Chains A and B, each alone.
Chain A
């Protein structure tokens, strides 16, 4: 049984636009997959449905065998606590420090302060921002803010990590650094799904690539580990 299964998932928005059309795809536990396609192809809709930020018009999405499209609101929170999500515009809280931003999922999950401190520092260390834990996000560069977003997504050690255009605002070098971070999480067994339109970058990662166009799945290329760039030591 795959960890994530899309079964003929379609999404039609209120304005009649088709976000996704009959998508069927499986994702194995610990796999790394890129969703690519032009703007409006359905990449973000795909991730939003998986995060249960929206509901599909038709079809089923199974995660660990549970149809998450029918999860009641009260269990939705617990489902989301087991996912990590990274967005292009970070969604950091500007009036909270880097430490507090990263600690947010742990506080929500009711961790003890001692464990929160340990986990937050481990996550910040992993993204290379341990020295900046006391700063507010506005004092960080865009790349650093994205790393804080990644640290917040992985601090709870999710089994599934989703990222929507995480390198959208970054230069090529920073983009590669960020992608290597995701690859590190994939290598320790986390299922990673990244939406990105940067075909050159994702091709170089040697991972599976699903191509979407106008909401439909038009390509599914398995990964070639030989193409992957050497892992950076972040």
Chain B
């Protein structure tokens, strides 16, 4: 009769001390470094691939952060310009100006008479001779309304509708300021960043998984022997998680270098461009926190790839 019950566990699970665990991690990291350095060509290639995959979304993130900061510093505010009919009466014009000024979304209304418009045009355009040939002043009177900070596009549209309904008004021009454009661009960049981030993260995981799988194949015989002498699944898996982390961290380093290089290359033209808009180049976001996050994300993606490869290849590993 077989007896298998009520027997004290003859092979109790050994509780390793902190020292043993530390020694184990040290030995595995040393082995991993040795393995990675012995296959430097392959390792560099993996680092480069993971680095590129990380650099693109990380670069877009930096661009988004800087665009958002830039829009906050911009002086322009949304507003609208109202152009009056040439034969509009002063009363009609004043009525429009008063109505605009009464709106809570409007901060200020600047009225420009036909005479002043002509004078400004002459002083800017240098077309004195041509304008003197005309019998009448061809320029209409206009009013420019600037909205209070925080106004929405709906507020702007409401004002435009209000002005258009007035009989003295010939045309209303809603001004999409740089602020709005930059905000839109920031939104696009942000969404593009998220999209590319997900795609390239999957790419980085797959690259690492493939590389780790190759490393597993190269050490299959050793793994079988390890299993035979009683290595746990955790012990079998551990070196490959280190591989993944090394590849990921290396990829993070390459990504940081690529972004630095890109910033160096575009610094001068970007300074010139911003200077033409009265802005100073003050790149934000490329700081120790960003770099730390880059390395952490790289390491995590690497470990994720390694886990994937280990699950696929080591799950059904036969001992001998």
How far does the Cβ of A43 sit from chain B's closest Cβ, in whole Å?
15
Q: How many chain B residues touch A (Cβ–Cβ < 8 Å)?
A: 34
Q: Say yes or no for A188: interface residue by CB 8 A criterion.
A: no
- On chain A, the residues within 8 Å of B318 by CB distance are 53
- On chain A, the residues within 8 Å of B16 by CB distance are 110
- On chain B, the residues within 8 Å of A64 by CB distance are 7, 10
On whether the beta carbons of A93 and B230 are closer than 8 Å, the reply is: no
Interface string of A135-171 (1 = CB under 8 A from B): 0000000000000000010001000000000000000
A interface residue count range (under 10 / 10 to 19 / 20 to 34 / 35 or more): 35 or more
On whether the beta carbons of B221 and A105 are closer than 8 Å, the reply is: no
On whether the beta carbons of A78 and B2 are closer than 8 Å, the reply is: no
On whether the beta carbons of A93 and B7 are closer than 8 Å, the reply is: no
Q: Say yes or no for B137: interface residue by CB 8 A criterion.
A: no
By secondary structure, the B interface counts as loop
- On chain A, the residues within 8 Å of B13 by CB distance are 75, 78
From B19-27, B127-135, B188-196, B280-288, give the one contacting chain A: B19-27
On whether the beta carbons of B7 and A66 are closer than 8 Å, the reply is: yes
Interface string of A90-126 (1 = CB under 8 A from B): 0111000000000011011111110000000000000
Q: A53-B320, A91-B225 are in contact. Are A110 and B14 (CB under 8 A)?
A: yes
- On chain B, the residues within 8 Å of A78 by CB distance are 11-14, 230, 232
- On chain A, the residues within 8 Å of B14 by CB distance are 78, 81, 109-110
- On chain B, the residues within 8 Å of A67 by CB distance are 2, 4
- On chain A, the residues within 8 Å of B230 by CB distance are 77-83, 105, 108-109
How far does the Cβ of B24 sit from chain A's closest Cβ, in whole Å?
7
How far does the Cβ of A138 sit from chain B's closest Cβ, in whole Å?
14
A157 to B16, CA, bound (A): 19
Q: Say yes or no for A5: interface residue by CB 8 A criterion.
A: yes
On whether the beta carbons of B4 and A113 are closer than 8 Å, the reply is: no
A113 to B23, CA, bound (A): 9
Q: Say yes or no for B56: interface residue by CB 8 A criterion.
A: no
- On chain A, the residues within 8 Å of B3 by CB distance are 1, 62, 65
On whether the beta carbons of B10 and A60 are closer than 8 Å, the reply is: no
Q: Say yes or no for B108: interface residue by CB 8 A criterion.
A: no
On whether the beta carbons of A104 and B319 are closer than 8 Å, the reply is: no
Partner of B235, one of A73, A87, A92, A108: A108
- On chain B, the residues within 8 Å of A12 by CB distance are none
A79 to B319, CA, bound (A): 14
Task: Give the residue among B20, B233, B319 with the most A Cβ atoms within 10 A.
Answer: B319
How far does the Cβ of B119 sit from chain A's closest Cβ, in whole Å?
89
Q: Say yes or no for A63: interface residue by CB 8 A criterion.
A: yes
Q: Say yes or no for A7: interface residue by CB 8 A criterion.
A: yes
Q: A60-B2, A67-B2, A110-B24 are in contact. Are A104 and B229 (CB under 8 A)?
A: yes
On whether the beta carbons of A77 and B231 are closer than 8 Å, the reply is: yes
On whether the beta carbons of B2 and A85 are closer than 8 Å, the reply is: no
8 closest cross-chain pairs (CB), A and B? A81-B230, A65-B7, A67-B4, A80-B230, A64-B10, A105-B229, A110-B20, A77-B232
Show 5 A/B contacts (Cβ-Cβ < 8 Å), sorted by A.
A78-B12, A78-B230, A81-B230, A85-B228, A109-B230
Further 16 A-B residue pairs, CB within 8 A, beyond A78-B14, A85-B228, A110-B16: A53-B228, A53-B319, A64-B10, A66-B7, A78-B12, A80-B227, A80-B230, A91-B224, A92-B225, A93-B221, A108-B226, A108-B235, A109-B230, A110-B14, A110-B20, A113-B23
